[in-house]
Amino acid sequence: MILTGLARLGADADLRYTNSGDPIATMSLAFNYGQKGHDGKRTSQWIEASLWGKRAEALSKYLKKGASIDIIIADPHIETWQKKDQSTGFKLVGKVLELEFSGGSRDTVDNPSGGKSKPAEDSYRRPAAPSGVFDDIDDEIPF
């Protein structure tokens, strides 16, 4: 089974290493679904997804809380565990097959030169066309 959709990170990705040295980045993802409730908010389904290998190392520093990503998750399933109060906990988990950043968060991003840059969403905007580029285009639509 495959799960695909647009999700938002609920926390920064957590990069760890297995005993054999394989990198793994764990992410907490919120998928919105359904109609908005009376409070104006949509219900979210949370899933804990893991990204393995060199991609985990390379991307973990960019997987920050609030980031919006298009993601494909393989083998989504429910895991259970025993809580401290002896009750059973449940969580939906899966392994990341593909991901693509789709916009930015309202947080600032680290700048290689040291400080902070403008908000991440601004770095995804295309520059405006130079003035005069479209001046010779006729305003009349030919159909």
Give the pLDDT confidence score for residue 110 in this predicted structure: 44
Q: How confident is the model at residue 37 (pLDDT cuts 50, 70, 90)?
A: confident
pLDDT tens digit string along 44-69? 899 999 999 999 999 999 999 999 99
In a domain, 109, yes or no: yes
Instruction: State the DSSP H helix or E strand holding residue 55, giving kind and residue range, or none if neither.
Output: helix 54-59
Biggest alpha carbon distance in the chain?
74
- In eight-state DSSP terms, residue 122 is G
In this structure, are residues 7 and 68 in contact, taking their beta carbons and an 8 Å threshold? yes
Does residue 139 surpass a pLDDT of 90?
no
In a domain, 134, yes or no: no
In a domain, 136, yes or no: no
Best CA proximity match to 33, nearest among 20, 21, 24, 46? 46
In a domain, 74, yes or no: yes
> What's the domain range around 62?
2-124
Does residue 135 surpass a pLDDT of 80?
no
Give the pLDDT confidence score for residue 91 in this predicted structure: 92
In a domain, 98, yes or no: yes
Domain CATH number, residue 113: 2.40.50.140
In a domain, 129, yes or no: no
In a domain, 131, yes or no: no
In a domain, 57, yes or no: yes
Looking at per-residue pLDDT, the higher value among 134 and 101 belongs to 101
Best CA proximity match to 64, nearest among 115, 11, 28? 11
- Distance CA(68)–CA(94), nearest Å, equals 18
When divided into structural domains, the chain yields a total of 1
Average pLDDT, the chain: 80
Listed range (56-60, 95-99, 119-123) with the worst mean pLDDT: 119-123
